[in-house]
């Protein structure tokens, strides 16, 4: 998608102590197609200014609130004002910010989980539809090239019919009451007022759900969940184990934890088909393991011609030759690249490249919210199976 | 345990096409403390003789039935007759063979699952108690030194309180209707008349249950199971996924499969404690991974002094220096070694070395049968949780 | 190092078909402290313009030659002109470009190997000294946090006295006469007129040399090399194996290949000390393996507090929490970050943070050139040992 | 090879404190085709008796010297006397024992390195030829099925022409002066009077040489060695690094160490061909990695049908199904199995199965001795290359 300038982004959130806002900035900047030029980085005007200064932004475009950012940027000339609003705040404010931005004419890239409730998610689907603006949801793990290869192998029929999916996301960082120390990341994640009805299930369970559905194209239909809060005094779940049913009859296991001592960010998925099986580990993202009952295991590695032959999406999401590892930031940036290409197409009034549409969107966000609420409901139910709404 | 002769073993099962009988013979022979001198290897007298010949046994001690073996061996002089009966037949005949052997004065080593039903298992507990004979159950995976190290680290308090256990045993060998080809191993395992109420859950689920309870010392109290038969026409489960509750409040996930294409024998367990976590993989059995939230992961490797310091049982179960890998047969042999030392002690009328008592016994076998029946019941229930009887 | 603006960079090289120029751009841009605003991307003015357009640069600052870029940028006002010249051309032009840039008042970031000959390297040392400008050499692998941890563990005495170093860099991409297809990367690398006296030894052998000396602080004193060209018609080495002596008496092995079929970019180093040993693999860069004769192997992983405690340099070179993998581009960017901080300090007339000085410099570049020439000389010699000049 | 009785073995060496003698006993016993019935386990008659008692042997067949064992066993009736003499003493006595045994009509299995000098090795070649007895050399690593698969893939042309071989055997157990503690294994290995001219090169360097030549069928023609003794006071090398030339023009690197802190028994080999490359690690022996420049890496795993299709030798050397790991003892036993089958054939006066002849023999032993002497000579030479005699 040719262009004569990078897209301009204004960020909400991402102030001092934030983690994901800085990741959005680095990832969106990496390829030179997006620049952060404005921001309402904190509910504290002072902290917002401090972040703006650190980012070497024009102080005039560092705002004390997202409302002011949206209002003032709207008034700037088209050649100057932001194109995109990035929403990187805690979950409870995603919806109002995204809604206002979309309705004010901006495209939106939003952190996951998309909203605070599934009702907000349904409303946001409508807003996106009504405004026609581009909405991206940062399920960054689908940005990994080998995840795209996995999806394209499934789509291409390589693995046959899917019978079983095992997806996990164990972490150990909340194995103690870290929130009691005032640590910023921990504090809002364990606060129902900011996170919503779920803790681990919302924060990382949604990544599992999204990864499984993205790769397989299947939908979870039923959930049986065992939800636990291990750390005394914590109000949201820090561990969750689920049995899953998928719409093709496949069985699944999904387990997440924030109290799995010594685990870092061990998201992994195994997909068992009738012909072949796939295995991918986020901490070793450059490899996709393909297992065969009748031949040796194969390790597909990013950056090779034989990957490109199977997956144009994987090739497109690759910057470096094989053996030069790519990782988290590059996957994150891949979501931004496709999002940006789609924004440019919409701005130019042309149809986006189908490959550019490969980024998580508002419908994926709704799935995530339905998943959260279904799992939490199942966790409280004595019925074995709880249906997931469509 | 000094002795002037190897123990003599008579085997039931293990004829042509059998897998595990040959493993019993190799493993029991490896250390020179047990020799197979007799057998009723097949219900076919001819096949039994063929196996006896291949094993270079005295033809007079190759019998057409276990009853005849037990009867005739009983009549041999003490210096000649067998000490031990090894039961390596399909599940449905374990109980009558073991019972007869015990009641006829022989010690017994029996394949798992121990019996056909939990009622038989309870009966066998009584028989063992009544006869005072030594009964070993071949849950061979507990014979691995690093499994013993894991148990001793748990016992020693190294990992703190256990919060979560994830145990898996995926295989792919029954992903197609292999039984239709007449393959011996497949055929009896999928036959309810020989295997019992469960397929994968009985064959490999019990290994998961036993491994988890062995290492942690915890007991499963509740099960929520999703049990599936994927291969058309098969009458027993070939896939099973369970949520578990343990008696200390720990949560668990147990999943097994025989249709996980490309998986070989991927038994693995992860145990998450409040201080440390443990991870062990059967296919890479010489390493125990110890994870820490506050320090680097440590890889304990078999055969090192630092292992022996933490676990006398692991040291005792080790034949070779570090870096000289040991594997399946050696673990299997370790069960036999402790069993044999206990038999010798009983023969000598002395108290066995406590370390020698570290082999699976009739109580473990009962746990396994209760587990099988509970999981299968849960699989049929619409209640979330099914209690496991004590 | 606070600043009110990003540094501005002009690039020489990095036009269509180039690999490393694009890596320089992405890496330098990632953290927002450097922006590429100018370039002489190709000896073809047309191709240079094409690259400039793709990068959305001001066409006025896209030049047909590095001379013109340097001349015209010098005339721009200080608030506008470039601060840094990045040299990403083939080896034969590094020296004249770098020399002109430095003497024209620009700081320089230069690709490795630094020059065409060791004489040029000695001359460049003098130029840097004379001009007082900051000179960075892109030995990017030293930018990896776990490499910095390794260095700091050696420095801190953790591993004792070093006895042996094994360093390798096998690749397979030139196992066939790829240059005959016109592939840009292959073509200049196998051309003595552009690469210099060495092929694989210059391109990747220097990374091994630099990595070993960086981590250990030792100097190679003697080399015994076996240098081979396997692909018919190729004029430079595509495989090289060396025995090394270090200045403390340590022994070493260094082997590189471009014909190691199936190897991607398998740079790895093992350092054996009297107390502990270290192992690091570039393709799995987030882990440093620490081996102990008396305790379990430890795996230090990037982003953890226990790493930061041992190495401020590793912590400084880390953007993401543990388990969120970082990779090649981030390591590359770390070299730029320290380089940029040093440039800013020099611009501000203050002493750079000692941690900022942790980037490869002109002296490292001279070591590399001496290494190349010594190895090639040794390869032609029938003497066992060839001394490496100081 | 059908038979009506196991072969009977008498062992020289393997008394208290010995390592490898016990390995010979366990390995030869595992498959039931060989039984140890006699021995001269120690130069101390008392210690020999103690070992005999521990092994539950007939005291009449536990001898105070190998001469007496050979003499007295010769006089026993054919149906009783030993078939095989196993030589598991330190290197200096291999030759006289093996020679006497062969000339006395016994088949011999001998530990490596085969003799004390290459002259003894040449003499032994003649003795074997003259007596017509079967001579096996315990280069156990060639007994691993995946090593046999590698050999058969090379033979079958799968990997093309071999260009480069990298073989290593780092250990750490002698990184301190362990011999000063009286440790039995260390003491004789560092004693030139028992070990010969080489330490690490003789003990483990020969395994590298043998493995490389076994798999590839190539011969080392020239060596350039850097040999070091790191531990003060030690009289033999504890570290050695070699460049190699092979008879087809391939290049090689061979490095061994006993001072590589934290390494256990890390024998590994990589073989780079023009089509594919192979990689095998002794500590993970069930996998053979096959690397491809144009497709994904493949991991061949022991026990699968696709392995058997490529290598009858690998299939024959396999006892357990895939995923049930086999390891060091099984590989060791495989050498005994083929040796035993060959002995039986010779005893029966029939031609051995060609697959049975797949065990290291006296010619391999001579290669090993020539290798040792060449490497040590090279280590002392200032010439780059030292030719290896044929």
Cβ atoms of C292 and D261 within 8 Å: the answer is yes
Task: Return the residue in A264, A333, A334 with the most chain C beta carbons within 10 A, the one to mutate for interface testing.
Answer: A264
Chain D neighbors of C277, CB-CB under 8 A:
172, 260-263
Token pair belonging to C181:
């297809």
Residue of A nearest to C302 (CA): A264
User: Residue C137 is part of a domain; what is its CATH number?
Assistant: 3.40.50.720
What pLDDT does residue C2 have? Answer: 45
Say if A390 falls within a structural domain.
Answer: no
3-class state of residue A68 by DSSP = helix
What residues have CB less than 8 Å from C181, skipping those under 6 apart? Answer: none
Interchain proximity B296–C294, CB inside 8 Å = no
Task: Compute the distance between CA of residue D340 and CA of residue A190 in angstroms, rounded to an integer.
Answer: 68
Peptide bond into C113 cis (omega under 30): yes
Euclidean distance between the first and the last CA atom of chain C, given in angstroms as a whole number: 35
Q: What is the pLDDT of residue B2?
A: 45
Beta-carbon separation of C56 and A32 below 8 A: yes
> Which residues in C lie closer than 8 A to residue B294 (C-beta atoms)?
305-306
Dist. CA A208–CA A367, nearest whole Å: 12
In a domain, D76, yes or no: yes
Based on the domain organization, do A57 and A30 belong to the same domain?
A: yes
pLDDT for res B79: 87
Helices C328-348 and C145-155: crossing angle, nearest 10°?
Answer: 70
Phi then psi for residue D269, to 5 deg, are -140, 140
Other Cβ atoms less than 10 A from the Cβ of C258: the count is 29
CB contact under 8 A, C172 and D243: no
Which chain B residues are Cβ-neighbours of D304 within 8 angstroms? 264
What is the CB-side half-sphere exposure of residue B16 using CA atoms within 13 A?
11
- Chain C residue numbers with beta carbons less than 8 Å from the beta carbon of A263 are 323
Question: For residue B237, which of B229, B226, B225 has the smallest C-alpha distance?
Answer: B229
Range of the domain at B372: 143-324+368-380
The alpha carbon of residue B351 is apart from the nearest alpha carbon of chain D, in Å, by 21
| Residues C296, B305: C-beta atoms closer than 8 Å | no
Contact C239 D273 (CB under 8 A): no
CA distances (Å), origin B19, targets B16, B256, D324: 9, 20, 12
Burial group, residue D64, by CB count within 10 angstroms (0-12, 13-18, 19+): middle
Q: Is the peptide bond before B113 cis (omega within 30 degrees of 0)?
A: yes
Per residue in B197-207, pLDDT (tens digit) is: 999 999 999 99
Q: What is the CATH number of the domain that holds C307?
A: 3.30.360.10
Contact yes or no for D300/D306 (Cβ under 8 A): yes
**Same domain for A261 and A350:** no
A389 located within any domain: no
The answer to whether the Cβ–Cβ distance between B284 and D284 falls below 8 Å is: yes
Q: What is the mean pLDDT of residues C330-334?
A: 98
The CB density around residue D115, as the number of other CB atoms within 10 Å, is: 28
Contact status of C45 with chain D (Cβ, < 8 Å): no
- Residues of A6-27 as b/e, b for ≥16 C-beta within 10 angstroms? bbbbbbbbbbeebebbbbbbbb
3-state secondary structure C16-58: CCCCHHHHHHHHHHHCCCEEEEEEECCCCHHHHHHHHHHCCCC
Based on C-alpha coordinates, what's the Rg of chain B?
21
Report the C-alpha gap between B119 and B100 in whole angstroms: 17
List pLDDT tens digits, range D347-366: 999 999 999 999 999 999 99
C87 shares a domain with C60: yes
Q: Is residue A160 a contact partner of residue A274, using CB atoms and an 8 Å limit? A: yes
CB distance D194 to D91 below 8 Å:
yes
Which chains pack against C, by 3+ Cβ pairs within 8 A? Answer: A, B, D
Contact: B255, A293; criterion CB under 8 Å? no
Instruction: Answer whether C293 touches B (CB < 8 Å).
Output: no
Counted domains in chain B: 2
Q: Is the pTM of this model over 0.95?
A: yes
pLDDT digits (tens, 9 = 90+) for C226-275: 999 999 999 999 999 999 999 999 999 999 999 999 999 999 999 999 99
- Burial level of D51, CB count in 10 A (0-12/13-18/19+)? buried
**pLDDT-based confidence at D94, cuts 50/70/90?**
very high
Query: Per-residue pLDDT for C344 more than 50?
Result: yes
Contact B224 A383 (CB under 8 A): no
Whether residue C92 is found in the same domain as residue C54? yes
Instruction: Check whether residue D195 and residue D317 sit in a common domain.
Output: yes
- Cross-chain residue pair B283–D323, CB shorter than 8 Å: yes
Check CB contact under 8 Å for A257 and B164: yes
Residue D388 falls inside a structural domain? no
DSSP state of C181: G
Distance CA D214, CA D223 (A): 18
How confident is the model at residue D145, as a pLDDT?
Answer: 98
Q: Which residues of D touch C161 (CB under 8 A)?
A: none
Q: Is the CB of residue C85 less than 8 Å from the CB of residue C108?
A: yes
Q: What is the DSSP letter of B160?
A: -
Q: Are residues B116 and B182 in the same domain?
A: no
Q: What are the pLDDT digits (tens) for D95-128?
A: 999 999 999 999 999 999 999 999 999 999 999 9
Asked if A59 reaches chain D (Cβ–Cβ under 8 Å), the answer is no
Domain shared by D156 and D137, yes or no: no
Note which residues in 302-341 of chain A have CB less than 8 A from chain D. Answer: 304-306
D297 and A CB contact within 8 Å: yes
CB distance B227 to B242 below 8 Å? no
Q: Which residues does chain B have with pLDDT short of 50?
A: 1-2
Sheet holding A7-12, edge to edge: A34-40, A7-12, A84-87, A107-110, A135-137
C1 band by pLDDT with thresholds 50, 70 and 90:
very low
- Which of D253, D262, D297 shows the shortest C-beta gap to C291? D262
Say yes or no: A208 and A317 in one domain: yes
Contact status of B115 with chain A (Cβ, < 8 Å): no
pLDDT < 50 regions, chain A: 1-2
Same domain, B125 and B162: no
Q: Please, where are the H alpha helices in chain D?
A: 20-30, 45-54, 66-75, 94-103, 118-131, 145-155, 184-189, 192-195, 200, 206-216, 305-310, 312-316, 328-348, 362-380
Q: Is the peptide bond before B384 cis (omega within 30 degrees of 0)?
A: no
In a domain, D98, yes or no: yes
Interatomic CA distance for residues B82 and B11, integer angstroms: 10
Residues of chain A contacting B263 with CB distance shorter than 8 Å: 272, 277, 291
Average pLDDT over residues D2-22: 89
Q: Please answer whether residues B307 and B151 qualify as being in contact, where contact means their C-beta atoms are separated by less than 8 angstroms.
A: no
The confidence score (pLDDT) of residue D3 equals 61
Q: Which pLDDT value is given to residue C18?
A: 87
Please list the alpha-helical segments (H only) found in chain C: 20-30, 45-54, 66-75, 94-103, 118-131, 145-155, 184-189, 192-195, 200, 206-216, 305-310, 312-316, 328-348, 362-380
Q: CB-CB: which of A294, A299, A305 is closest to D306? A: A294
Q: Kindly compute the dihedral angle of the four CA atoms of residues D174, D180, D186, D190, in this order, to the nearest 10 degrees.
A: 90
Cβ neighbours of C261 (radius 10 Å): 27
Alpha helices, DSSP H, located in C114-272: 118-131, 145-155, 184-189, 192-195, 200, 206-216
Q: Is D141 a residue whose pLDDT tops 70?
A: yes
CB C242 within 8 A of CB C226: yes
Q: Which of B167, B164, B227, B161 is nearest to B200 (CA)?
A: B227
Tokens of C323: 């388990």
Q: Would you say residue D19 has pLDDT above 80?
A: yes
Angstrom distances, CA of residue D375 to CA of C246, D205, D256, D257 = 21, 9, 12, 14
- Mean pLDDT over C122-142 rounds to 98
Contact C319 A26 (CB under 8 A): yes
Same domain for C349 and C309: no
Q: What pLDDT shows up at residue D204?
A: 98
- Please provide the DSSP assignment of A93-149 as one string: GHHHHHHHHHHTT-EEEEPSS--SSHHHHHHHHHHHHHH---EEE--GGGGSHHHHH
R_g (Cα) of chain A, nearest Å: 21
Q: Which among D290, D295, D298 is the nearest to A306, CB-wise?
A: D295
Radius of gyration of the CA atoms of chain C, in A: 21
CB atoms within 10 A of CB C292: 18
Residue C344 lies in a domain: yes
Same domain, B273 and B338: no
Question: For the CA atoms of chain D, what is the radius of gyration?
Answer: 21
Q: Are A110 and A94 in contact (CB under 8 A)?
A: yes
Q: Kindly report the CA angle at D290 between D285 and D293, in degrees rounded to 5?
A: 155
φ/ψ of B314, rounded to 5, equals -65, -40
Kindly indicate whether the ipTM for this predicted assembly is greater than 0.90, answering yes or no. Answer: yes
* pLDDT tens readout for residues C95-123: 999 999 999 999 999 999 999 999 999 99
**C386 domain-assigned:** no
Residue B67's nearest CA partner among B19, B109, B106, B27 is B106
Within the 223-252 window of chain B, which residues sit less than 8 Å (CB to CB) from chain A? 224, 226, 228, 230, 239, 241, 243, 245, 251-252
The residue of chain B with its CA nearest to that of D319 is B23
Q: Considering only CB atoms, which chain B residues are within 8 Å of D4? A: 56
CB contact under 8 A, A29 and C30: yes
Do residues A200 and A162 both lie within one domain?
yes
* Residue position matching structure tokens 């495209």: A107
- What contacts C21, CB < 8 A, 6 or more positions away? C11, C13, C14, C15, C41, C86, C88
- pLDDT over 90 (residue C291): yes
D290 touches chain A (CB under 8 A): yes
Q: How far apart are alpha carbons D145 and A27 in whole angstroms?
A: 48
Whether D126 maps to a domain, the answer reads: yes
Report how many Cβ contacts below 8 Å link chain C to chain D: 125
CB contact under 8 A, D32 and B56: yes
CB B256 within 8 A of CB B169: yes
């Amino acid at each position: 998608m040719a262009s004569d300038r990078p897209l301009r982004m204004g960020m909400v959130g991402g102030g001092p102590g934030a983690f994901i806002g800085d990741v959005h900035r680095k990832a969106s900047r990496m390829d030179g197609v997006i620049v952060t030029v404005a921001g309402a980085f904190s509910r504290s005007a002072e902290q917002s200014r401090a972040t703006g200064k650190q980012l070497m932004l024009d102080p005039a475009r560092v705002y004390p609130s997202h409302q002011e950012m949206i209002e003032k940027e709207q008034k700037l000339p088209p050649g100057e004002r932001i194109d995109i609003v990035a929403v990187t705040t805690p979950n409870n404010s995603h919806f109002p910010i995204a809604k206002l931005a979309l309705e004010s004419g901006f495209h939106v890239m939003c952190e996951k989980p998309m909203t605070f409730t599934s009702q907000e998610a349904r409303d946001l689907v409508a807003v996106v539809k009504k405004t026609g603006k581009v909405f991206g949801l940062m399920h960054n793990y689908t940005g990994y090239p080998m995840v795209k290869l996995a999806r394209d192998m499934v789509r291409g029929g390589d693995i046959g019919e899917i019978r079983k999916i095992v997806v996990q996301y164990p972490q150990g960082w909340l194995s103690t009451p870290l929130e009691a120390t005032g640590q910023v990341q921990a504090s809002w994640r364990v606060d129902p007022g900011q996170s919503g009805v779920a803790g681990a299930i919302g924060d990382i369970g949604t990544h599992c759900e999204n990864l499984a559905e993205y790769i397989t194209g299947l939908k979870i239909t039923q959930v049986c969940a065992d939800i636990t809060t291990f750390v005394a005094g914590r109000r949201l779940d820090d561990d969750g184990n689920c049995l899953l049913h998928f719409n093709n009859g496949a069985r699944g296991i999904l387990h997440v934890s924030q109290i799995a001592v010594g685990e870092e960010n061990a998201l992994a998925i195994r997909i068992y088909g009738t012909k072949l099986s796939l295995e991918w580990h986020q901490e070793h993202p450059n490899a996709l393991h393909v297992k065969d009952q009748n031949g040796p295991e194969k390790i597909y590695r990013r950056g090779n011609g034989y990957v490109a032959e199977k997956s144009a999406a994987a090739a497109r999401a690759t910057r470096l030759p094989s053996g030069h590892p790519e990782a988290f930031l590059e996957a994150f940036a891949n979501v931004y690249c496709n999002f940006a290409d789609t924004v440019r197409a919409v701005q130019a009034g042309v149809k986006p490249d189908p490959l550019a549409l490969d980024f998580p969107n508002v419908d994926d966000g709704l799935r995530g919210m339905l998943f959260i609420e279904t799992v939490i409901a199942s966790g409280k139910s004595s019925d074995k199976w709880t249906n997931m709404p469509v």
